[in-house]
Amino acid sequence: MGMVNRSIETRASLAVVGAGVAGCAVVAGLRQQGWLGSLSLWEMGRGPGGRSSARRSRQDPDLHINHGAPCFNLDSAALELAPPRLLKPLLAGGWIEPWCGVMASLGVDGSLHPPLDSPLGRGQLFQGRGGMDQLCGGLLALGDQLGPPIERHFGTLVRHLSVTPAGRWRLQDAGGQLLDEVDWLVLSSTLLAHPRALLVLGWQVIPLLEVARQLQDPQLDHALATIGSIRSVARSALLLVSGADAARHWQQLPFRLLEFDPPAQQRFGLSRLSIQPLEDGRCVVVAHSSTVVAEEHLGVYGSRSAIALQLGAGGAGEREQQLIAWLSEALQQALADHLEPGLIGAADRQLMRWGAAFPLQPGLPDALQLCAGSRIAFCGDAMAGPGFGRVEGAWRSGEALAASLLPHLQGRAPTPVPRAAPSGQNPQG
Ligand SMILES: Cc1cc2nc3c(=O)[nH]c(=O)nc-3n(C[C@H](O)[C@H](O)[C@H](O)COP(=O)(O)OP(=O)(O)OC[C@H]3O[C@@H](n4cnc5c(N)ncnc54)[C@H](O)[C@@H]3O)c2cc1C
């Protein structure tokens, strides 16, 4: 019996698109549950992490900038849920640690107040040790310890999807080159299934929608219609790196994380500020714009973002510099009562734009997250459920998907409804 299961187990193959928290949690979760089949992970960014990543520099190995989530919270007690299963091993392995900084809020007149009751601040807070990307790095390392190595492919945008007559998924890059052919596909990001791909990447069609037309799977059609209707809000982020002298001023501020209350967001055009001291005495400061400011500057990427590199777009040149100057001035005004003038202008400054920073409710319901008839499944912070729109939701959705995928990958699940044979291949295929 064990022998039979093992042979089925190792024969099935799975590709996961996206190495953010959800994608890394699904691969680590599968290994933790003993699945030893072939696993590949495809990510357009230069490393794992997605919106919980850290910007690093080859020339400056001590530098890491948490340019998305600066930390994350687990609200398990309030949600009356056990913490994610992989939490303990990640803490024990030193990949993540409790976040112990002070939180505060800023009022419209620039005055400081106790923290707001925000969904991002409830429960226990944690951070990646030495950078937020360590959370995903740790998940992948745990996965590797528990089974055959997870094949990682960074810096690779999956551009085309198609299905063979035998029902296997084919992944191709922008040039039409075959990247992988697998039994099962997991999308941990909505990008390949959402109209924003048309806007952001200038594509003519939504890749998964094109395939779904051939598959004629009502559950997948329903999932795609729901994913297509998920809206999200954007953020532009000003990233500052201050030398050791200026860093002291930042570190003397009586908070590490500052949230702007709604009137302050409207006045200053900023929503959050995070102060991230580096071990060598320097200090990183990241200021997130308000939604309104980010939406007004959606076309200004930040020349060092993964998407700008993928598109071969060098950011927006002058517009990027203008937005950096505007956000710097806004930050200076907001902190006028607390910070010496000149510190912001003297820092090394960069821009990062998150086109879809936070999804908006309700997200993709449970019943549509695994479409067995088409051997495709979804995870990520846009899945309806506890922790929605946060690291916790992404993590939980990945672990939950691993549990529900397992019987399918092991051939123990009921036979799915047969799907229509695709009428043709992707023209690139
Ligand atoms: C500015 C900001 C601040 C935040 N602050 C907090 C916070 O304080 N606390 C908190 O809990 N959460 C916070 N969040 C939200 C948190 O970052 C996300 O909920 C979480 O990281 C989402 O993880 P994910 O795996 O679902 O998605 P993602 O991190 O988006 O991962 C998806 C990955 O898929 C990759 N990808 C997509 N399509 C393709 C493709 N076709 N080919 C190859 N790769 C592809 C992307 O590059 C990405 O790396 C913040 C987010 C932002 C932007």
Q: So what's the pLDDT on residue 184?
A: 97
Name the band, by pLDDT with cuts 50, 70 and 90, for residue 314. Answer: low
Instruction: Report the pLDDT value the prediction gives residue 298, as an integer from 0 to 100.
Output: 87
Helices (H) and strands (E) in the chain, counts: 15, 21
| Structure confidence at residue 414 (pLDDT) | 72
pLDDT at 306: 67
Give the Cβ contact number of residue 417 at 10 Å: 11
Task: Tell me how far apart the alpha carbons of residues 370 and 363 are, in angstroms, rounded to a whole number.
Answer: 14
Secondary structure letter of residue 353 according to DSSP: E
Residue 428 has pLDDT above 80, yes or no: no
CA dist., res. 403 & res. 394, Å (int): 15
Q: Residue 76: what pLDDT?
A: 82
Going by their DSSP bridges, the two strands 184-187 and 13-17 should be labelled as parallel
Nearest-atom number in ligand 1 for the CA of 21 is: 25
428 or 210, which is more confident: 210
pLDDT at residue 121 above 80? yes
| 187 contacts 209 by C-beta, under 8 angstroms | no
275-281 long-range contacts, CB within 8 A, separation 24+: 275/101, 275/250, 275/251, 276/65, 276/66, 276/70, 277/247, 277/251, 278/62, 278/63, 278/64, 278/247, 279/62, 279/130, 280/62, 280/244, 281/244, 281/247
The pLDDT, as a whole number, for residue 7 is: 39
What is the whole-number distance in angstroms between the Cα of residue 245 and the centre of ligand 1?
A: 33
Q: Tell me the average pLDDT of the chain.
A: 92
Span 97-124+232-359 CATH architecture: Alpha-Beta Complex (3.90)
What is the whole-number distance in angstroms between the Cα of residue 20 and the centre of ligand 1? 6
Tell me: the pLDDT tens digits for 259-271? 999 999 999 999 9
- In 43-110, at which residue ranges do the beta strands (DSSP E only) sit? 55-56, 64-65, 72-74, 96-98, 103-106
Other CB atoms within a 10 A radius of the CB of residue 60 amount to: 13
* Residue bearing the bigger pLDDT, 317 or 230: 230
> Above 70 in pLDDT, residue 8?
no
Q: Between β-strands 124-128 and 96-98, what pairing exists: parallel, antiparallel or unpaired?
A: antiparallel
Domain edges within the chain: 2-53+133-230+360-409, 97-124+232-359
pLDDT at 248 > cutoff 50? yes
Q: How far, in Å, from the CA of 19 to the mean position of ligand 1?
A: 9
Percent of the chain with pLDDT over 90: 85
CATH of 2-53+133-230+360-409, one of 3.50.50.60, 3.20.20.80, 3.40.30.10, 3.40.50.300: 3.50.50.60
Question: 354: CA distance to ligand 1 center in Å?
Answer: 9
With tokens 């976040």, the residue in question is: 99
Range with lowest mean pLDDT among 59-73, 138-152, 314-328, 367-381: 314-328
For 328-351, the pLDDT digits (tens) are 999 999 999 999 999 999 999 999
Query: Cα separations (Å) of 151 from 12, 21, 64, 154?
Result: 15, 16, 25, 10
d(CA 221, CA 302) in angstroms, rounded, equals 35
Would you say how long the chain is, in residues? 429
Please give the pLDDT value at position 311.
Answer: 65
Give tens-digit pLDDT for 132-171: 999 999 999 999 999 999 999 999 999 999 999 999 999 9
Confidence of residue 52 (pLDDT cuts 50, 70, 90): very high
Using a pLDDT cut of 70, give the percent of the chain over it: 91
Q: With cut-offs at 50, 70 and 90, classify the pLDDT of residue 2.
A: very low
299 vs 88: which has the higher pLDDT? 88
Q: Give the separation between CA 66 and CA 262, rounded to whole angstroms.
A: 24
List all residues whose CB is within 6 A of at least one atom of ligand 1. Answer: 17-23, 42-45, 50-52, 68-73, 120, 157-158, 188-189, 191-192, 235, 237, 288, 306, 354, 357, 380-381, 389-392, 394
